[in-house]
Amino acid sequence: FSKKPLQVFESKFPQLRDDFVQHISKFAPLPVAADRLHKMLDFNCVGGKMTRGVTVMTATQQICHKANIQHDELAEKAIVLGWCIEALQAFFLVADDLMDKSETRRGRPCWYKLPDVGFDAVNDSLLLDSFIYFLLQHYFDGGNNTPASPTLYLQLTNLFQDVSLRTKVGQMLDLMSQPQGRKGPELLKQFTWERYKLIVELKTSYYSFYLPLACALLVTGHNQPQQLQLTKKIALQLGQKFQIQDDYLDCFGDPQHIGKIGTDIYDHKCSWLVVQALMRANPAQLQTLQDNYGKDLGGPCEARIKQLYRELELPALYQQQERQSFDECVASIENVPDDIPKSIFQDLLDKIHDRKK
Amino acid sequence: FSKKPLQVFESKFPQLRDDFVQHISKFAPLPVAADRLHKMLDFNCVGGKMTRGVTVMTATQQICHKANIQHDELAEKAIVLGWCIEALQAFFLVADDLMDKSETRRGRPCWYKLPDVGFDAVNDSLLLDSFIYFLLQHYFDGGNNTPASPTLYLQLTNLFQDVSLRTKVGQMLDLMSQPQGRKGPELLKQFTWERYKLIVELKTSYYSFYLPLACALLVTGHNQPQQLQLTKKIALQLGQKFQIQDDYLDCFGDPQHIGKIGTDIYDHKCSWLVVQALMRANPAQLQTLQDNYGKDLGGPCEARIKQLYRELELPALYQQQERQSFDECVASIENVPDDIPKSIFQDLLDKIHDRKK
Ligand SMILES: [Mg+2]
Ligand SMILES: [Mg+2]
Ligand SMILES: [Mg+2]
Ligand SMILES: [Mg+2]
Ligand SMILES: [Mg+2]
Ligand SMILES: [Mg+2]
């Protein structure tokens, strides 16, 4: 490639978007419908960091190189799978922003906040989900009766369905940390480290870390259960590190860097910070947590929680966690057997370690 | 069967629900999560007329009888597919009620209206969608590497994805009749008969009429393109009749029978009534439509529209449409070739003809 991976990846999007819009235009031949779809896909699929999508592309390249597999014809398939993951991400973000009543995303208003969108965003989110399975069918299914490679198509659709279900269950657990109309002390008691790890694994790690690597493995024929299992184990380690960073930056990051103002304390989230605070608090500090967590936005309760986090020296604990999780990931990566290139994990670790946004 | 079809069909639900909840409990072993899922599935999947689900069951029976196929082992599969369609229906209804800001459904408050649900209903709707593909995989996929009947599983997942996408596009067109923040005369001009037929086909007919019959055909091995095409043609005829009834009853039906108060006029919907009114209105009546359509709920504008519908004798036109569509369906059913039993269409026609709810 003479171009950078991100540019190569991005340049494929217009064709995939047009494939989908043209497919729909065959049974719904209305220019207004095509225009709206086009605009909706552009707004929601493009503009992020696209780490997930680019990872499928670069990991596929590295696996092919290591295994001496002809990469040329797999390169396009890897990019399509990368865009399937970006579509999955867009599907979840459109729905998540509406459920979280968020204001901004990627430094712009959320899609549902646009005046001619509103709650119609729910259906747009569902269309983004269908975009995934359209792409899989269009590029991987050779037809119902004589599938070109039925096993790969089946593996991919089952993989996306499985990861999608886990993410939805993770979202459900995340939402149950702050169910509509009831926040409070009895919920706070449930914010254990075990529960935290489970929520993070399901809502973040599977789709953000395991899915891109699993796509690269499957498309290159590395579909042995032990290969996928090992990849899952390291992906979940990386995902946990990533989500702990996300939780820390929500409170202590620079809003200018992260593109939004954190609301985890107000939203009564089961964040790494509150889980650590609960484990370290004395009875008086526990009372402070119960009295102030989830109470106001940008007000004295939120400030009191942040102050408590500093009293408990959570910023220093976070620095320690960052170093320790880095070392643990490095150790796991060192043990990766020869049939999978270590670099597919190392690249992800390098991308996320010590991130400020 | 000694029991009635609806009872047989309903009695299978607890097992399918438990299959799904147990599957999720394997990777999210939290009793609170299992309880919430259980409650959400019960609330949203059960309580409707279940015509779609029961149709898969009874149509499969009739096709087996006619073709002399052993029915016993297909009976369970047909019921599972029926519940996949009921899950699809639940998925769409939970999302639709939220987008339409509806108050009641099946004579009860809508799911999103419950105090501890709210916008979390968006994610619940997504979980209902995953329920479909879980059931298909659990009952039809023999595993990734040695699928028991890969072709049927592929056909079914592709069928559900295709019908689901069409329904979402139909919803998009339906929502574009009343986009957030802009209703009015320029939109009303787009409510043509051609556009009406397209919206109805996509948002209603595919999933309500074609999908149950296509499931029965596929599960019994009737997967010839011409068999599916013919079935689609009659299904779309039945679906159009059904949606015209729905539109008529929204305005002129008995709220006690239909379980809700109609809001199509207020919602500026592309309803059969307004499309017919636009075709028959003189310039003064057109002005009345433009001045009053979509303006208030239960107020003078809505009353003025209803009065105009009566002036244009739409109730009499509806009676004529009911007779005519019945005759047209009967004519199509008479031409069904011998490999498909006519009764699978006739039963649906008998169920919907002249309905008051
Ligand atoms: Mg959010
Ligand atoms: Mg959220
Ligand atoms: Mg966050
Ligand atoms: Mg509705
Ligand atoms: Mg609606
Ligand atoms: Mg209606």
Of the two residues A184 and B225, the one the predictor is more confident about is B225
pLDDT at site A197: 98
> Has residue B213 got a pLDDT over 70?
yes
> Has residue B165 got a pLDDT over 60?
yes
Contacts 24+ apart (CB under 8 A), B341-347: B341/B62, B341/B63, B341/B65, B341/B66, B343/B62, B344/B55, B344/B58, B344/B59, B344/B62, B344/B63, B344/B213, B344/B216, B345/B213, B345/B234, B345/B238, B347/B55, B347/B58, B347/B59
> Has residue B181 got a pLDDT over 70?
no
> Has residue A147 got a pLDDT over 70?
no
pLDDT at site A149: 63
Cβ partners under 8 Å of residue A261, min gap 6 = A255, A298
Q: How many CB pairs under 8 A join A and B?
A: 166
Beta carbons of B90 and B44 less than 8 angstroms apart: yes
CB contacts of B37 in chain A (<8 Å) are 172
CB contacts of B31 in chain A (<8 Å) are none
Of the two residues B107 and A292, the one the predictor is more confident about is A292
Catalytic (active site) residue B96 = yes
Half-sphere exposure (CA, 13 Å, Cβ side) for B272?
22
pLDDT band at B261 (very low <50, low <70, confident <90, very high): confident
CB contacts of B36 in chain A (<8 Å) are 172, 176
Average pLDDT over residues A275-297: 95
pLDDT band at A181 (very low <50, low <70, confident <90, very high): low
Beta carbons of B34 and B118 less than 8 angstroms apart: no
pLDDT at site B1: 47
Of the two residues A286 and B296, the one the predictor is more confident about is A286
Closest residue of chain B to A119, computed from CA coordinates: B99
Distance from CA of A30 to the nearest CA of B (A): 9
Beta carbons of A94 and A27 less than 8 angstroms apart: no
CB contacts of B118 in chain A (<8 Å) are 180-181
SS (HEC) of chain A: CCCCHHHHHHHCHHHHHHHHHHHHHHHCCCHHHHHHHHHHHHHHHCCCCCHHHHHHHHHHHHHHHHHCCCCHHHHHHHHHHHHHHHHHHHHHHHHHHHHHCCCEECCEECHHHCCCCHHHHHHHHHHHHHHHHHHHHHHHCCCCCCCCCHHHHHHHHHHHHHHHHHHHHHHHHHHCCCCCCCCCHHHHCCCCHHHHHHHHHHHHHHHHHHHHHHHHHHHCCCCCHHHHHHHHHHHHHHHHHHHHHHHHHHHHCCHHHHCCCCCCCCCCCCCHHHHHHHHHCCHHHHHHHHHHCCCCCCCHHHHHHHHHHHHCCHHHHHHHHHHHHHHHHHHHHHCCCCCCCCHHHHHHHHHHCCCCC
pTM over 0.90: yes
pLDDT at site A357: 85
User: What percentage of chain A has pLDDT greater than the value 90?
Assistant: 84
> Has residue A146 got a pLDDT over 60?
no
Determine the distance separating the centroid of ligand 3 and the alpha carbon of B157, expressed in angstroms: 34
Average pLDDT over residues B342-352: 97
User: What is the ipTM score, two decimals?
Assistant: 0.96
Distance from CA of A356 to the nearest CA of B (A): 30
Catalytic (active site) residue B195 = no
pLDDT at site B144: 44
pLDDT in tens, B222-259: 999 999 999 999 999 999 999 999 999 999 999 888 87
Average pLDDT over residues A253-265: 86
Q: Testing the interface with A: which of B92, B132, B175 to mutate, by most A Cβ within 10 A?
A: B175
pLDDT band at B145 (very low <50, low <70, confident <90, very high): very low
Determine the distance separating the centroid of ligand 4 and the alpha carbon of B138, expressed in angstroms: 31
Is some CB atom of chain B closer than 8 A to the CB atom of A179? yes
Interface contact flag, A125 B129, Cβ < 8 Å: no
pLDDT in tens, A49-86: 999 999 999 999 999 999 999 999 899 999 999 999 99
> Has residue B149 got a pLDDT over 70?
no
Of the listed ranges A142-151, A241-250, B216-225, B298-307, the least confidently predicted one is A142-151
Interface contact flag, A119 B180, Cβ < 8 Å: yes
Closest by CA position to B314, among listed B235, B221, B251, B226: B251
Average pLDDT over residues B176-204: 87
Would you tell me which residues 141-160 of chain B have a C-beta closer than 8 angstroms to some C-beta of chain A? 141, 144-145, 147, 150-151, 153-155, 157-158
Cα distances (Å, whole numbers) of residue B201 to A127, A222, B213? 17, 43, 15
> Has residue A189 got a pLDDT over 80?
yes
User: What percentage of chain B has pLDDT greater than the value 90?
Assistant: 84
Output the six-digit token pair for B2. 């000694």
pLDDT band at B3 (very low <50, low <70, confident <90, very high): confident
pLDDT at site A145: 42
> Has residue B143 got a pLDDT over 80?
no
> Has residue B136 got a pLDDT over 90?
yes
> Has residue B214 got a pLDDT over 60?
yes
Would you tell me which residues 263-322 of chain A have a C-beta closer than 8 angstroms to some C-beta of chain B? none
Interface contact flag, B122 A99, Cβ < 8 Å: yes
Interface contact flag, B153 A154, Cβ < 8 Å: yes
CB contacts of B202 in chain A (<8 Å) are 27-28
Of the two residues A68 and B261, the one the predictor is more confident about is A68
pLDDT band at B73 (very low <50, low <70, confident <90, very high): confident
pLDDT at site A144: 44
> Has residue A293 got a pLDDT over 60?
yes
Of the two residues B184 and B153, the one the predictor is more confident about is B153
Interface contact flag, B99 A123, Cβ < 8 Å: yes
